[in-house]
Amino acid sequence: MSPVVSPLGVPNVPWCPSHIPPAVPNVPSEPIVPFCPQCPCVPCCPLAVRAVPNVPLPSPVSLCCPCCPHCPQCPQCPHCPRCPHCPCAVPAVPSVPNVPIVPDVPIVPSVPVLSLLSPLSPLSPLSPVSLLSPMSPVSPMSPLSLMSPMSPMSPVSPMSPLSLMSPVSPMSPLSPMSPVSPFVPIVPFVPIVPDVPRLAHGGAIATLIDTSLGTLALAVAGRVVTANLSIDYLAPVPLRSVLLLEAFLQRRQGRKLFLGCDLWDAEGTTLHAKATGLFIQQDPPKEAARGGDSGR
């Protein structure tokens, strides 16, 4: 077998997730998949396909993986965790041409939605965040529920890209004025960038936080943009760890929504980050635009 070469041309750096031991002791590891000299997992990744733009996609179509130019020679491709066509991979995103940053229709953040740092999405392989669920109309005041990081109800699967644990519950009505409003995505970080320390990138964490806060703001006020985001990184996030993000609306002042969040490990024992964000409502209803301050 020829030596493994990373996308950056650095040999013998087994960055493939199949070869990285689990960073979190309690998270079961993925099955070890032997490297294939034709396809050391890297070509299975849409990022790698992008990196080799002149490599035509293989034909005929009877491939295990149309994303992988080496797939016909690679018996491992169907089992590569990076392959969107692999049975163990993330469900493919429906073919939507573009995912708006802020959807026109507010969504219920209780639907499984986010694939953080997933290179698997055919929607946008380079996008750190992919939308995996259809959008559902919802009242901006729709009640959401709070799920504690400690909740035994959390079916966290370290193999899934994300489980979003905010089922709609009449038990916990979300008021825009509520100091604690609930939005709790559960996200395992997976490595997509080779040759980096096995810690989650701060920018990726920021993306997670921005998207989560933005989703909560979206549920409360419709179209929003981030005006300010402030993050305190308190403890490193190991790759492959599973996280809980608890977001809450602190206050609302006219078009301004002040939100905060805590990023925990799956057990709710380590606080990895705290953040606050200011989101500005876009195209507010006329009464809001006139009167303004519904907050404190």
Ligand X SMILES: CCCCCCCCCCCCCCCC(=O)SCCNC(=O)CCNC(=O)[C@H](O)C(C)(C)COP(=O)(O)OP(=O)(O)OC[C@H]1O[C@@H](n2cnc3c(N)ncnc32)[C@H](O)[C@@H]1OP(=O)(O)O
**Interacting residues with ligand X (CB under 6 A):** 101-103, 109, 113-114, 131, 164, 185, 210-212, 214-215, 218, 225-228, 254-256, 278, 280
Least distance (Å) from ligand X to the CB of residue 183?
8
The residues, any chain, with a CB within 8 Å of residue 97's CB and separated by 6 or more, are: none
Chain position carrying tokens 């996280």: 243
C-beta of 29 vs 151, nearer to ligand X: 151
Residue 32: count of CB within 10 angstroms of its CB: 9
Least distance (Å) from ligand X to the CB of residue 8?
29
Least distance (Å) from ligand X to the CB of residue 294?
13
C-beta of 113 vs 263, nearer to ligand X: 113
Residue 8 burial (C-beta neighbours within 10 Å; 0-12, 13-18, 19+): exposed
Give the C-alpha separation, 226 to 9, whole Å.
Answer: 37
Residue 290 burial (C-beta neighbours within 10 Å; 0-12, 13-18, 19+): exposed
Q: Which H or E run contains 289?
A: helix 286-291
Sign, CA dihedral 165-162-98-277, equals positive
Least distance (Å) from ligand X to the CB of residue 168?
15
C-beta of 18 vs 181, nearer to ligand X: 181
Least distance (Å) from ligand X to the CB of residue 107?
6
Residues 25, 46 contacting (CB under 8 angstroms) = no
Structure tokens at 9: 């041309």
Least distance (Å) from ligand X to the CB of residue 131?
5
C-beta of 101 vs 150, nearer to ligand X: 101
**Residue 174 DSSP class:** P
Q: Residue with CB nearest ligand X?
A: 214
C-beta of 58 vs 103, nearer to ligand X: 103
Chain position carrying tokens 């698997």: 120
C-beta of 76 vs 212, nearer to ligand X: 212
Least distance (Å) from ligand X to the CB of residue 252?
12
Give the C-alpha separation, 214 to 139, whole Å.
Answer: 16
| Residues listed for the chain | 296
C-beta of 76 vs 211, nearer to ligand X: 211
Backbone angles phi, psi at 51, to 5 degrees: -70, -15
